[in-house]
Amino acid sequence: MLIKKMLRTAWSYKSQFISMIIMMMLGIGIFLGFNMEWKTIEYDTSRFFNDTKYADYRLYSETGFTKNDIKSISSIDGVGAATRYLSVNLDIKGKTKKAIALDVSENFSVSTFVLISGKQYDENSDGIWLSDKFANTNGISLNDSLTLEFQGAEIKSKVVGLIKSGEHMICVADSNQLMPDYKTFGYAYISPAKLNTVLREKVISNIAEEMQKSGITVQTAKEKAAQIITDEMITEATDKVFSQINLRSNLNKAELEDAVKEKLGKTIMVVSKEDHIVYKEAMGEAEEGKTMGSILPVLFLVIAILTMVTTMHRIATKEKTQIGVLKALGFKDRTILVHYSFYGLLIGIIGTVSGSALGYLICKLVMSENGMMGTYFDMPDWTAATPFFCYPIIVGTVILLALISFLSVRAQLNGTAADTLRPYTPKKMKRIFLERYSLFEKLNFSTKWNLRDLIRHKSRFAMTLVGIIGCMILLVGGLGMRDTMTGFLDLLDNGISHYATKVNMVENTDYQNAKQLIKELGGDWESYTGISIDGYTATLDIVHDNNDLISVVDKNNKKIYLKDDGAYLCMRLADRAKVGEYIEFSPYGGNETYRVKVIGYNRSIMTEGITITDTLADKLGIEYNISSVYTDKKSGDIPPSDLISGKQDKKQLMDSFESFVQILNSMVIILVVAAIILGIVVLYNLGIISYVERSRELATLKVLGFRNKKIGKLLISQNIWLTVAGVIIGLPAGVGVLYWLLSALASEYELKLMLGPLTYIVSVVLTFGVSLFVGWLVARKNKNIDMVEALKSAE
């Protein structure tokens, strides 16, 4: 019988019950969704990295690694497996603006791939294993032929397999590209045997070219070259191209660096997986998820629980007479408490179950092949993993809700059955602190009434304020994030990159070699070198920006006119040295240490490091290679050259952000919708409570002759005040949260917080819109208030 009563009572409070269930669903859903997202990133990527034997360390040498080198490295204690590795970006012949990263691994127990379709890997195969996503996007099928341009030679192969590789799980051409764009860039593997064939042909071709200078025909030169070519020549060419060793090891970085130095007799640049773009970005995403997950869900869950406290208290006071009747009938306190605790339990269970479903959906919306991360990560398996701590929190929340019901009802059960039978008496009215001032007396009735009502119902007042502030934080945070990212893209497009095409140079291209090409292209250039600053891996960026095709900017995004008398530290390294102090660094692959004065800080888009001019680099005697040349020539107008490893026009680069912007827009929409739902649910629920609590007063006003409109205005004016207060607090709080989020993300990007006037306007207008809409919904109920009924009983 009590169960029937419970269900019917629940139904009679349906608007409160439904809003509490929605709040719990949102609270649990967002809590679970955000936490599942980062956990799933960690879980799925780890599994994929494991399946494809992702390397723990990468060793780089600009002069390449020999077979002896790899033997020595493999013999280090603690190194499990190691391979000479080649990964080079190559253009696809006959397909404009399409390039791939071509990988070769001599030992297929490190940095491998998983086969999606086609033939298994064979180290003697002539074929090419191509990224399935790149193949699908560009209409390439198994057995299609692909020709790649490799340092003046060609690699021609049939596609024998479609694959996914951990090394290229985030498939970007270089660190300047934020998002993969499979229309223009993919990856592929060939066997070492195929590489050997290609290099053999390239060596023959090089020898033949030399012979042709003495006047013999191409054919004869090639035949003669094929006869005189030796294994040593091919080995030398092979050693040169294997500029990377990938290995799996449980040693720490310092231990490995020491061991490598001991074995090879020189300092080698060792990059741990934590600093490799794919692993770093994936873990960065997980970290971002954790950061985001630590604010939003807490906000929602806390608001949900506080709403529950306020609402259950209200229901318990309204049910006081019913509780008294049950007590008078002879039901024990314990039975009544258990009965009413079921309300909280019921809300908790329905809210948790639906919230878990919502959480799963949110997680899948982000982490699935067709979800937001689907355009970023290229993985074969997408699951959904839940961090363990979520389980006790969810169970704890359900118990807490039941406890809230229990405590709310227990407060009404005190005393005898006769005491309980009496209706709930609100607290006595006391003077509020504002009344000490004579100004208070001058306030009109509506203001006094609302002020005192707020003080009288502090928890409702606080909750409403929290709801509005939460709504505001979400709106400013979401829209501000978009503004910041739009500003970032604008900076990249208009503030930093003034070139038409970025030409990537093959490795080991020094300035003397590239001089002619740079002159022809009329370009600026950059050189990236791995350096160690007190053991910390960073990048030395040597910039030649005389033609203003690229710019280095300061923290205010203003162009820095680079000076030759010192170095600029990126903002992430700012705490390493003050302006005027000196900083020391050592390029990997050598034993020199350089000391330069810090003369400023710059905002670096991606790389973390030190920027100096080429003039200063020359003065210091730093040896460097040209990484990229920037030109205002169009991609098609650039003459072919052995020195060019790939080209990327600016439009292509900016287009690659398209999917990134789409993800961002989806996130913003989610946040805006969440803000509106949060605002509506919290404000409506509290509005109804307020309306019920004041129904007697409202009826009195009506009896006295107040028109419905005037009473409605009275109710809405309270909403407006709270909204004004909420907006005043919520706006800086939103900016603060956004600032905090950006600081938390600062290890990856150096983003400048930007907020457009439209963000402020939209956030304020939407918050006021929600508040006024809910105020109107509640105020219109006033029309139906039954004056006679409301005034019958004693207060």
Task: Give me the residues that bind other proteins (CB under 8 A), please.
Answer: 426, 428-431, 444-445, 448-449, 452-453, 456, 696-697, 699-710, 783, 787-788, 791, 793-795
**CB of residue 702 to other proteins, shortest distance in Å:** 7
**CB of residue 429 to other proteins, shortest distance in Å:** 4
**CB of residue 431 to other proteins, shortest distance in Å:** 8
Distance of alpha carbon 777 from alpha carbon 655, whole angstroms: 45
Q: Which is nearer to other proteins, 95 or 707 (CB)?
A: 707
Distance of alpha carbon 509 from alpha carbon 529, whole angstroms: 12
Distance of alpha carbon 476 from alpha carbon 741, whole angstroms: 12
**CB of residue 790 to other proteins, shortest distance in Å:** 9
Distance of alpha carbon 252 from alpha carbon 535, whole angstroms: 13
Q: What is the DSSP letter of 206?
A: H
> Would you say 192 and 244 are in contact if contact means Cβ atoms under 8 Å apart?
no
Distance of alpha carbon 413 from alpha carbon 123, whole angstroms: 80
Q: Which is nearer to other proteins, 444 or 591 (CB)?
A: 444
Phi-psi category of 395—alpha, beta or left, where left has phi over 0 and alpha has psi -120 to 50? alpha
Q: Which is nearer to other proteins, 266 or 431 (CB)?
A: 431
> Would you say 496 and 551 are in contact if contact means Cβ atoms under 8 Å apart?
yes
Q: Which is nearer to other proteins, 450 or 641 (CB)?
A: 450
Q: Which is nearer to other proteins, 449 or 773 (CB)?
A: 449
Q: Which is nearer to other proteins, 597 or 710 (CB)?
A: 710
Q: Are strands 128-131 and 185-190 parallel, antiparallel or unpaired?
A: antiparallel
Q: What number of CA atoms fall less than 13 Å from residue 448's CA on the CB side? A: 12
Distance of alpha carbon 442 from alpha carbon 429, whole angstroms: 20
Q: What number of CA atoms fall less than 13 Å from residue 324's CA on the CB side? A: 16
Q: Which is nearer to other proteins, 354 or 695 (CB)?
A: 695
**CB of residue 673 to other proteins, shortest distance in Å:** 37
Cβ-based neighbours of 311, under 8 Å, separated by 6 or more: 16, 19, 20, 685, 689
**CB of residue 703 to other proteins, shortest distance in Å:** 5
Distance of alpha carbon 92 from alpha carbon 112, whole angstroms: 22
**CB of residue 712 to other proteins, shortest distance in Å:** 12
**CB of residue 723 to other proteins, shortest distance in Å:** 21
Bridge partners (DSSP) listed for residue 158? 145
Q: Which is nearer to other proteins, 156 or 713 (CB)?
A: 713
Q: Which is nearer to other proteins, 119 or 710 (CB)?
A: 710
Bridge partners (DSSP) listed for residue 537? 532
Q: Which is nearer to other proteins, 597 or 709 (CB)?
A: 709
Radius of gyration of the chain (CA): 34
**CB of residue 310 to other proteins, shortest distance in Å:** 18
> Would you say 351 and 399 are in contact if contact means Cβ atoms under 8 Å apart?
no
**CB of residue 707 to other proteins, shortest distance in Å:** 4
**CB of residue 437 to other proteins, shortest distance in Å:** 14
Q: Is 593 exposed, middle or buried (0-12, 13-18, 19+ CB in 10 A)?
A: exposed
Q: Which is nearer to other proteins, 265 or 705 (CB)?
A: 705
> Would you say 626 and 488 are in contact if contact means Cβ atoms under 8 Å apart?
no
Q: Which residue type is seen at 237?
A: A
**CB of residue 448 to other proteins, shortest distance in Å:** 6
Q: How many CB atoms lie within 10 A of CB 478?
A: 24
Phi-psi category of 151—alpha, beta or left, where left has phi over 0 and alpha has psi -120 to 50? left
**CB of residue 316 to other proteins, shortest distance in Å:** 20
Q: Is residue 129 within a helix (H) or strand (E), and if so which, with residue range? A: strand 128-131
**CB of residue 453 to other proteins, shortest distance in Å:** 5
DSSP string for 371-385: SGGGGT---S-----
Distance of alpha carbon 603 from alpha carbon 572, whole angstroms: 9
Angle between helices 757-779 and 658-693 (to 10 degrees): 30
> Would you say 485 and 664 are in contact if contact means Cβ atoms under 8 Å apart?
yes
**CB of residue 696 to other proteins, shortest distance in Å:** 7
Distance of alpha carbon 41 from alpha carbon 285, whole angstroms: 8
Q: Which is nearer to other proteins, 486 or 708 (CB)?
A: 708
How many angstroms separate the Cα of 308 from the Cα of each of 80, 312, 330, 726, 795? 55, 6, 29, 20, 25
Q: What number of CA atoms fall less than 13 Å from residue 192's CA on the CB side? A: 14
Q: Is 752 exposed, middle or buried (0-12, 13-18, 19+ CB in 10 A)?
A: middle
**CB of residue 450 to other proteins, shortest distance in Å:** 9
User: If we measure between CA atoms, which residue out of 312, 355, 322 comes closest to residue 36?
Assistant: 355
Using DSSP's 3-state secondary structure scheme, residue 302 falls into: helix
Look-up: residue for tokens 């020094």? 510
